[in-house]
Amino acid sequence: MGHIVNPDREYRLLQQRLDRNVTGAPDSPHFMEILKILFSPEDANIARQIPTRFTTVGRLAKKLGMEPAALDGWITEMAHRGLVIDIGRGGRRYVSLAPVVIGFFEYTFMRADDKLPLKELARLFDAYMHGDDRFARSVFGADTQIGRSLVREEALPEGDHTEILDWERATRLIESASAASVSLCACRHKASHLGKACDRPMENCIALNMGAEILVKNGFARPVSTAEALKILEQCKELGLAQTGDNVRKNAAYICNCCGCCCEMMKAIRVMGQRNAIVTSNWTVEIDETKCKGCGKCAKLCPVELIDMVPVEAEGGKKNAKKARHQEEFCLGCGVCYTGCKTGAIRMKPRPKRVFTPETTFDKVIAMAIERGKLANLVFEGHEQWGWRAFGRIAAALEKTPPARALMAIDPLRSAFFEAVVRKAKPPT
Candidates 98, 103, 101, 10; CA nearest to 54 is 98
Question: What gap in Å lies between CA 132 and CA 113, rounded to an integer?
Answer: 28
Look at residue 398 and tell me whether its pLDDT is greater than 80: no
Residue 1 within any structural domain of the chain: no
Please, are residues 128 and 30 in contact by the beta-carbon 8 Å criterion? yes
Look at residue 131 and tell me whether its pLDDT is greater than 90: yes
Check whether residue 167 and residue 179 sit in a common domain. yes
Check whether residue 205 and residue 327 sit in a common domain. yes
Check whether residue 44 and residue 84 sit in a common domain. yes
Give residue 429's pLDDT. 39
Give residue 216's pLDDT. 97
pTM of the full predicted structure? 0.88
Task: Classify 288 as helix, strand or coil.
Answer: coil
Please, are residues 324 and 299 in contact by the beta-carbon 8 Å criterion? yes
- Burial of 427 from C-beta contacts in 10 A (0-12 / 13-18 / 19+): exposed
Question: What gap in Å lies between CA 278 and CA 245, rounded to an integer?
Answer: 9
Structure confidence by residue, pLDDT tens digits, 190-248: 999 999 999 999 999 999 999 999 999 999 999 999 999 999 999 999 999 999 999 99
Candidates 351, 365, 358, 348; CA nearest to 285 is 348
Q: Lowest mean pLDDT of 178-182, 349-353, 404-408, name the range.
A: 404-408
CA 239 to each of CA 200, 204, 254, 342: distance values in angstroms, whole numbers, following the listed order? 7, 11, 19, 16
Name residue 349's beta-bridge partners: 284
423 or 112: which carries more pLDDT confidence?
Answer: 112
Residue 129 within any structural domain of the chain: no
Check whether residue 32 and residue 167 sit in a common domain. no
Check whether residue 167 and residue 71 sit in a common domain. no
Residue 2 within any structural domain of the chain: no
Residue 135 within any structural domain of the chain: no
Per DSSP, 279 falls in state B
Half-sphere exposure in the Cβ direction for 378 (13 Å, CA):
23
Check whether residue 278 and residue 184 sit in a common domain. yes
Q: Quick one: pLDDT band at residue 423, thresholds 50, 70, 90?
A: very low
Domain boundary among 70, 98, 126: 98
Look at residue 422 and tell me whether its pLDDT is greater than 90: no
Please, are residues 93 and 86 in contact by the beta-carbon 8 Å criterion? yes
CA 161 to each of CA 170, 276, 331, 334: distance values in angstroms, whole numbers, following the listed order? 20, 28, 22, 19
Check whether residue 271 and residue 397 sit in a common domain. no
Check whether residue 343 and residue 373 sit in a common domain. no
Neighbouring C-beta atoms of residue 338, cutoff 10 Å: 23
Check whether residue 315 and residue 281 sit in a common domain. yes
Question: What gap in Å lies between CA 233 and CA 392, rounded to an integer?
Answer: 38
Please, are residues 31 and 128 in contact by the beta-carbon 8 Å criterion? yes
Residue 81 is part of which domain span?
7-98
Across the range 156-166, mean pLDDT stands at 75
Domain boundary among 98, 125, 148: 98
Check whether residue 88 and residue 110 sit in a common domain. no
Task: Classify 59 as helix, strand or coil.
Answer: helix
Residue 122 within any structural domain of the chain: no
CATH code of residue 30? 1.10.10.10
Candidates 179, 243, 188, 184; CA nearest to 219 is 184
Question: What gap in Å lies between CA 223 and CA 232, rounded to an integer?
Answer: 13
Check whether residue 369 and residue 402 sit in a common domain. yes
Across the range 285-307, mean pLDDT stands at 94
Structural domain count, the chain: 3
Residue 279 within any structural domain of the chain: yes
Please, are residues 184 and 108 in contact by the beta-carbon 8 Å criterion? no
Question: What gap in Å lies between CA 221 and CA 231, rounded to an integer?
Answer: 17
Question: What gap in Å lies between CA 429 and CA 422, rounded to an integer?
Answer: 14
* % the chain with pLDDT above 90: 72
CA 7 to each of CA 44, 52, 202, 407: distance values in angstroms, whole numbers, following the listed order? 8, 22, 36, 38
Question: What gap in Å lies between CA 29 and CA 14, rounded to an integer?
Answer: 14
Question: What gap in Å lies between CA 242 and CA 240, rounded to an integer?
Answer: 7
Handedness of CA 255, 260, 262, 268 (dihedral sign): positive
Check whether residue 61 and residue 207 sit in a common domain. no
Look at residue 316 and tell me whether its pLDDT is greater than 80: no
Residue 134 within any structural domain of the chain: no
Domain boundary among 355, 378, 409: 355
Give residue 374's pLDDT. 83
Candidates 107, 88, 77; CA nearest to 207 is 107
Residue 373 within any structural domain of the chain: yes
Give residue 376's pLDDT. 75
